[in-house]
Amino acid sequence: MLSRVADSLYWMSRYLERAEHTTRLLDVNLNLMLDETSNSADHRWPRLLQSLGRPRRLKWEGNPYTLAHTLTFDLTNPASVVACVISARENARHMREQISTEQWHRLNSLYLEVTRPGFKKEMQLDAESSTEGPVAFLQQVMEAVHQFQGVTDSTMSHGEGWHFIQVGRYLERATATTFLLEAYHEDLWAHPDRAVDGNEYLEWMGLLRSATAFEAYCKVYTADLTPERILEFILLDPEFPHSVRFSIDALHAALGAIQQQSGKRRADEVQRLAGKLSASLAFASIDEILDRDVVGYLRRIQQQCNAIHNEIYELYVNYSIQTALAG
Contact indicator for 65, 33 with CB cutoff of 8 Å? no
What is the pLDDT at residue 272? 93
pLDDT, tens only, 211-258: 999 999 999 998 888 999 999 999 999 999 999 999 999 999 999 999
In a 3-state reduction of DSSP, which class is residue 48? helix
Across residues 8-25, what is the average pLDDT?
97
What is the pLDDT at residue 327? 46
φ, ψ of residue 256 to 5 degrees: the values are: -65, -40
Of residues 320 and 120, more confidence is placed in: 120
The DSSP secondary structure of 239-282, one letter per residue, reads S-TTSHHHHHHHHHHHHHHHHHHHT-TTTHHHHHHHHHHHHHHH
Of residues 189 and 174, more confidence is placed in: 174
Question: Is residue 262 very low, low, confident or very high in pLDDT (cuts 50, 70, 90)?
Answer: confident
Other C-beta atoms lying within 10 Å of the C-beta of residue 72: 25
Q: pTM of this prediction?
A: 0.91
What is the pLDDT at residue 37? 59
